[in-house]
Amino acid sequence: MNSKKKKFPLHLKILIGMLIGVVFGLGMTQFEGGKDIIIDWVKPWGTIFVNLLKLIAIPLIVASLLKGILDLKDISKFAKIGGRSILIYIGTTIVAITIGLTLVNIIQPGDGISEETISKMTESYGGNESITQKMQTAEATSNAGPLSFLEDMVPSNLFSALSDNGSMLKVIFFVIFFGISMLMIPEEKARPIKDFFDGLNDVVLKMVDLIMIGAPLAVFALLATVVVTSESVEVLQALLWYSMTVVIGLLLMIVFYVLVVSIYTKRNPIWFLKKLAPAQLLAFTTSSSAATLPVTMERVEEHIGVDKEVSSFVLPVGATINMDGTSLYQAVAAVFIAQALMVDLTFADQLTIILTALMASIGSAAVPGAGMVMLVIVLQAVGKFSPEQIAIGLTLIFAVDRPLDMLRTTINVTGDATVSMVVAKSMDKLHEPPIDDED
Ligand code: ASP
C-alpha cells in the first residue's frame, strides 16, 4: 500500500520515539524546573494522541461490529463466535492466574520485606489521595448485586452509552441487537444502512492510519512524562522481587501465546508479534487497552488476517473483559501483600483468589490503574485482611504500579489478539492479511 512504510516499519519508529522519550525525560530530571517543562509542553501531545484514539474507539466498534454481523448473515454463527471467545477468554485468564499464583508461592517476594521498610513506605504514601480514591471506587463496585453486570450491559439510552467510553459493553449490546434485527428485515430495506456503515468503517480505519502518523511523537511525550513523574530508584529496589515476579509471569504469558499461535493457528509466532508490535508498544505507553483498541483492531484485521466477522466482536469484548496480565498481577499482588503483612493464606484462600481475580479482571475497566482498584475486591474476598491492612497493602505496591500497569496492559492486548486468532482459525476465518508489507 504505502511503499515508504516498507523502508522503515512503524514499530521501529515507535520504539525510537520511546527511547528518545526515556532519555529526554531522564535528562530533564537533572534540571530544576525540567519536570515542569515536560508537564507543560510535552505531556499535552501525549494526551492529545490518547484522546484521538479514544475519540474513534466507539465509531470504530459500531461500524466494524455491525459490518461483522451483517457479513456473517447467519445468526447462529455469531452465537458460536460469542460462546467460543468467552470460553477461551476464561481459559486464558485461568492460565494467567495459575502462573501468577505458582510463581509468587515459589519466589515468595513478600517474605524479605522488613517491618521497617513497610512502615517507611506506608509513611511516605500515608493518606495518598489516589489510594483512598481507589478504595472508594472498589467499595462501590463490591456493593453491586450478583446480576448487576447484566443490568449494566443493557443501556436505557443509546446516546448516553455512546458518549461514555466506559460503556463499551452497552454499545456492543445495542449493535448486536440492531444487527440481528437488520438481518431479519428484507435485504433491500437494510441495504442503505449497511452501505452507510460500510463506508463509515473505511473512514474510521483511515482515521486510525492518520492518527498513527503521530504515534512516534506521542510515545515520546508519554514516556518522557512517565519518567519525570515516576518514583525514585530506592523505592523501586524494595519492591524488586515483587516486580520481578510479575514480570516473569507476564513473560511466561508471552511464551504461552507464542505456543498457542504456533501450535493451534500454525502461524509463525515471531511474525505475529512483529505485526502486533505497534499495538503492544502503544498499550505499553498508554497503559490502556481501551485507548489501544482501534490500533489492535487495525493490526489484527489488516496485518494479521483475522476476518472482521470475528475480530469486530472478539477484540472490543476482549478489551473489556479479557485481562490476562491484570489477573496475573492481581494474584501475585494479593499473595505478596499477605506475605509482607504475615497473613497466612490457606489453599482455600488461594482458590478464592483465583475465582475473584477472574471476576475482577472481567470487571476491571480498560484504563490505567484499574487493576489496582479491583485488587481491593480480591483482598476483601479472601476475608483475612482488615481495611487498614488493605490500605497498607495497596500503599506498599503503589510505587511500582505504573510500570507494572504498562507491562500488564501489553499482555492484555496480546491476549486479546491471540484469542481472536484462535477463534478465527476455529471458524476458518483466518486469511492471508490484506496488507502484506514489512510493517
Ligand atoms: N491498564 C490495564 C488495561 O487497560 C488495566 C489494569 O490492569 O489496570 O488493560
Going by pLDDT thresholds of 50, 70 and 90, the confidence category of residue 321 is confident
Considering the chain, what percentage of its residues have pLDDT values greater than 70? 90
DSSP string, 355-406: HHHHHHHHHS-SSTTHHHHHHHHHHHHH----HHHHHHHHHHHHTTHHHHHH
Q: Is the pLDDT of residue 362 over 70?
A: yes
What is the reported pLDDT for 230?
A: 75
**Whether domain 10-426 has CATH 2.160.20.60:** no
- Percent of the chain clearing pLDDT 90 (strictly above): 54
pLDDT at residue number 5: 47
Cα–Cα dist 44/50, whole Å: 10
Q: Give the cell for residue 179.
A: 444487527
Kindly give the distance from the C-alpha atom of residue 94 to the centroid of ligand 1, in angstroms, as a whole number: 17
Measured distance between the N- and C-terminal CA atoms of the chain, rounded to whole angstroms: 11
pLDDT digits (tens, 9 = 90+) for 197-206: 999 989 998 9
So what's the pLDDT on residue 44? 96
State the average pLDDT over residues 349-373: 84
pLDDT grade, residue 126 (50/70/90)?
A: low
The alpha carbon of 319 and the centre of ligand 1 are apart by a number of angstroms equal to: 9
For 15-35, what is the mean pLDDT? Answer: 92
Q: Which numbered atom of ligand 1 lies nearest the CA of 289?
A: 4
Question: What does the pLDDT read at residue 4?
Answer: 45
| Integer Cα distance of 33 and 53 in angstroms | 30
Per-residue pLDDT tens digits for 325-338? 999 999 999 999 99
More confident residue, 361 or 238: 361
pLDDT of residue 124: 61
* Residue whose C-alpha cell is 495497596: 394
The predicted structure's pLDDT at residue 95: 96
Q: What pLDDT does residue 239 have?
A: 85
| Structure confidence at residue 428 (pLDDT) | 92
User: For 424-438, what is the mean pLDDT?
Assistant: 84
More confident site: 311 or 146 = 311
C-beta of residue 423 within 8 angstroms of C-beta of residue 337: no
CA–centroid distance, residue 290 to ligand 1 (Å) = 9
Report the pLDDT averaged over residues 67-73.
Answer: 82
Digit-coded pLDDT (tens) for 254-286: 999 999 999 999 999 999 999 999 999 999 999
* pLDDT tens by residue, 204-235: 989 988 998 999 999 999 999 988 887 666 66
**pLDDT above 90: residue 169:** no
**pTM attached to this predicted model:** 0.87
Q: Counting atoms of ligand 1 from 1, which one is nearest the CA of 329?
A: 7
- Look at residue 436 in the predicted model and tell me its pLDDT: 67
Confidence of residue 77 (pLDDT cuts 50, 70, 90): confident
**pLDDT for 165:** 72
Q: What pLDDT shows up at residue 141?
A: 66
What are the extents of the domains in the chain?
Answer: 10-426
Quickly state the pLDDT bin for 300 (edges 50, 70, 90).
very high
Specify the DSSP class assigned to residue 41: I
Q: For CA atoms 190, 196, 201, 202, give the dihedral sign.
A: positive
Nearest CA, atom 7, ligand 1: 371
In tens, the pLDDT along 237-249 reads 778 899 999 999 9
**pLDDT of residue 171 exceeding 70:** yes
Neighbour tally for 400: CB within 10 Å = 20
Res 1: pLDDT: 44
Backbone phi and psi for residue 131, each to the nearest 5 degrees, phi listed first: -70, -45
Predicted pLDDT at 127: 59
Kindly give the distance from the C-alpha atom of residue 98 to the centroid of ligand 1, in angstroms, as a whole number.
Answer: 19
Rounded to the nearest whole angstrom, what is the distance from the C-alpha of residue 264 to the centroid of ligand 1? 27
279-288 in b/e form (b: 16+ CB < 10 A) is bbbbbbbbbb
For ligand 1, which residues put their CB under 6 angstroms from it? 287-289, 323, 326, 364, 366-371, 405, 408-409, 412
Q: What's the CA dihedral at 96, 99, 101, 104 to 10 degrees?
A: -130
Average pLDDT, the chain: 88
pLDDT of 2 reads 47
